[in-house]
Amino acid sequence: MRATIIHGAGDVRIETVPDPVILEPTDAIVRIVRACICGSDLHPFHNKPAGSDPRAIGHEFIGVVEDTGSAVRTVSRGDFVIAPFVWSDGTCEFCREGLFTSCLHGGDWGDENVGGGQGEATRVPQADGTLIPVPGITEDSELLPSLLTLSDVYGTGYHAAITAGVRPGETVVVIGDGAVGLLAVLSAKQLGAEKIILMGRHEARTNLGREFGATDVVSARGEEGIAQVRELSGGHGAHRVLEAVGFLPAYEQALGVVRPGGAISRVGVPQYVEAPAGRVLFRPNVTLTGGVAPVRKYIDTLLPLVLDGTVNPGRVFDMTVSIEDVPSGYVAMDERRALKVLVKP
């Protein structure tokens, strides 16, 4: 089968690899119907050292179960399924608490003997704990793009809003106009935020953000951006700041716009080790929260809204490529010509 393999920075190739096979009784094989490229895939696209081991890439996909191991109970051949961006056993103490991203027996797509999402098919370890079947969906459904967002970006934006503690009537700032930021806007709106200030500078994206519920857009950054947000939020900043970028300046922006007693929730993977975290948080009682989103936990809440058309998070996709064109999709996202690229194997 064909799959996307990353060899190093800027070096993404489509290669023929062995078809996946069942290795454990808890495995399934899923034929991938739709996948996509994540903003976080751009980090290895920028940084992966040349000469490091090639690795299957892609961690967001929906598909159809082709085969199951003897111990699999909750999905069967022919089921349409959503795969969260990590796999998990569903039974360990962290999974039982809903923290599937800290599963004691889980892992990442692209790990040894586990395929990536940007391919024709993959082995799925811990199929019962990982896959969510969605009855009634066919491969020509108009809902496919929105269902695909449940594997990562929608649940990640929702995680930001939930962990920040967004409550009705509050002011929320969202930093970043990528897919996660825009879906953090949608999530804040769902949780009843009254004023949602989106910080971003790409007009097509911030316009979609307005459709998702942003009441204000601030394109300025740094001190000027902070001043504008503070003016929009009554002078003291916002109760909740959802940071969906991951670079240090975005975190510093968050520190500048958060209100005393408020919270910063990060869902962009931090690209730094040390950061200002002393009295700048302590004096105003600002809480720093968020993290790698356990998106599986939110599917119960979000899937019904996708199925009944209440929300249409799939609007974040603005480019579609075949599997052979995945490398050009990386370039389009890297050059910010595409917001988010859908892959149709």
Smallest distance, a second copy to C-beta of residue 289, A: 4
Strands 195-199 and 171-175, by their bridges, are parallel
Q: According to CB under 8 A, which residues from 106 to 145 bind a second copy?
A: none
Q: Say how many residues touch a second copy, by CB under 8 A.
A: 36
Q: Which of 230, 291, 303, 344 binds a second copy (CB under 8 A)?
A: 291
Smallest distance, a second copy to C-beta of residue 55, A: 19
Helices 248-257 and 222-232, packing angle to 10 deg: 30
DSSP string, 171-183: EEEEE--SHHHHH
* 286 near a second copy, judged by CB under 8 A: yes
The residue range among 99-107, 127-135, 178-186, 323-331 that interacts with a second copy, by the rule CB under 8 A, is: 99-107
Q: Which of 277, 322, 324, 337 binds a second copy (CB under 8 A)?
A: 277
Please say whether the beta carbons of 150 and 302 come within 8 A.
yes
Q: According to CB under 8 A, which residues from 240 to 269 bind a second copy?
A: 260-261, 266, 269
Smallest distance, a second copy to C-beta of residue 270, A: 4
Pull the structure tokens for residue 280. Answer: 């700048």
**Cβ distance to a second copy smaller for residue 82 or 293:** 293
* 272 near a second copy, judged by CB under 8 A: yes
* 42 near a second copy, judged by CB under 8 A: no
Smallest distance, a second copy to C-beta of residue 243, A: 10
* 278 near a second copy, judged by CB under 8 A: yes
Please say whether the beta carbons of 82 and 154 come within 8 A.
no
The residue range among 1-9, 32-40, 92-100, 204-212 that interacts with a second copy, by the rule CB under 8 A, is: 92-100
Pull the structure tokens for residue 84. Answer: 């969260």
Place of tokens 């496919």: 144
What CA–CA distances, in Å, run from 214 to 40, 57, 170, 190, 192? 24, 32, 13, 12, 12
Rg of the chain's alpha carbons, rounded to an integer?
A: 20
For 80: left if phi > 0, alpha if psi spans -120 to 50, otherwise beta; the answer is beta
Q: Which residues bind a second copy (CB under 8 A)?
A: 93-94, 97, 99, 101-102, 163, 236, 260-261, 266, 269-292, 294
